[in-house]
A and B are shown apart, each in its own frame.
Chain A
């Protein structure tokens, strides 16, 4: 599903390698946790996957799609195939829960009928049925992140990338968000969770990849969740 082969990223004019020969293979339906301290290269890796930046060398293939073959005009289509969740939610403050989720379908050219059929199901999936007409500032952090997850999943992507989704949440809300990600993974979506929260890592029996100074220092299957 995701093949990252000896990928190196050196930012313009920089001498420091943000990623240094990273090789990863993530199978379809896997739940992978990517951990590492600040500056380890986690965000760089995610930005490469969403084509916000280009690798300096190496190869990235997702779902059989070689990133070297993707033209800049095709990047939006690539991003529509990958669900992304951000630490700061990135919700539209002047739109309701329903409208925020619908927005991801609107930009894909979905008809109003399709939107009306899909969005309520997504709201239900993330457990916000009673909140559909509320604005982001009327929701808790955990609820906002669930809206963001619903928006990321509304186009039914095969891959979901979650960049520090619990970074702004308390432990209770964090647990709820992680549970939601597990639920999504159980439905067959490949989930790549980036976090530096050790408690989350301990709580899950998942594959854990550790990045340090731009290199993969460990790639283990964690057993025996706490």
Chain B
């Protein structure tokens, strides 16, 4: 290393950084049309990512809430269980804070229900075999709980020795019986996956377009200033001082687009959350995260914009601004 290698003092480095910022800002204003195009494309990208992330959050929250709120728990007791036993079980269950509702379907009702859902051919087979479904089918204790993830107290009641003695041997422990709700959960789950995949695909496409547009914007800015850059090199400007304004310009795209995307995203949420809630979509976890962590979410969106801008600009500078 020669005697030329001298690190600038801190205050000089700060002066240089300030100048790079100023020149980046000047570039941004000078290329106003290109700037606008780059910002709009980046804005669409960030909004797409923001919307798909919030939609995924809302749909996942809805799946979770539906699973928690609409899942029924069923316990099956032998068909000859005395009424006082299952009524005692009902009383104990209903006194539990997590239990919302307890329905008892006795063997006779179970048989009637079965008869309603089977076809004539099955009905004929049962008749031919002389099966007495009214005495064969177990008694179903349907338990609706507030939180399906908090079943310890319900388990404790059901597994009491008194009731375990009457537990149907074919369904020893309690089990889920979701019925039509499982279809709802599956549907919402599917939509959540669609939103996630669709958001990722769309976000990816717009991310690519953003990178290409910003890459080209910076490339054109470099070409427009070709003579100036040549002169800067010849009179001894450091490569980082030549590169810096282009990176600053692209970072500013990110800051502007990120700020607008965050503002538009929140405005959209403010408008759409009540509508979603009205339509039965669970927005609790969405609002908890997006509103509760608003500063971090906004900073995150802006930083994502800065990252996209910087990445694209670095690619352009690397390709077209060789020192």
Contacts and interface: CB of A to CB of B under 8 A. Distances in A.
A96 B256 CA distance: 31
A65 B3 contact: yes
Interface stretch (B64-72, B212-220, B234-242, B279-287): B234-242
A76 to B, nearest CB: 5
A107 B235 contact: yes
A12 interface: no
Majority secondary structure, B binding face: helix
Contact of A90 (B6, B8, B231, B237): B231
A86 B234 CA distance: 10
Contact of B234 (A79, A81, A92): A79
Interface string A71-97: 111101111110010100011100000
Interface in B190-241: 227-228, 230-239, 241
A15 interface: no
Contacts of A103: 235
A219 interface: no
A111 B234 contact: no
Interface stretch (B12-20, B145-153, B177-185): B12-20
Given A107-B235, A109-B15, A109-B16, A90 B230 contact: yes
Nearest to B22: A106
Given A69-B1, A76-B239, A107 B6 contact: no
A72 B228 CA distance: 21
Contacts of A66: 2
Interface in A150-176: 151-152
A108 interface: yes
A50 interface: yes
Nearest to A80: B236
A103 B6 CA distance: 20
A66 B4 CA distance: 11
Nearest to A83: B235
B319 interface: no
Contacts of B228: 92
Contacts of A80: 235-236
A70 interface: yes
A28 B19 CA distance: 35
A104 interface: yes
A70 B4 contact: yes
A107 B13 contact: no
B277 to A, nearest CB: 56
Interface of B: 1-6, 8, 11-13, 15-16, 19, 227-228, 230-239, 241, 323
5 contacts: A65-B3, A77-B6, A107-B237, A108-B236, A109-B12
Given A80-B236, A109-B8, A110-B12, 9 more contacts: A65-B2, A70-B4, A78-B4, A81-B4, A104-B236, A107-B232, A107-B238, A109-B15, A151-B235
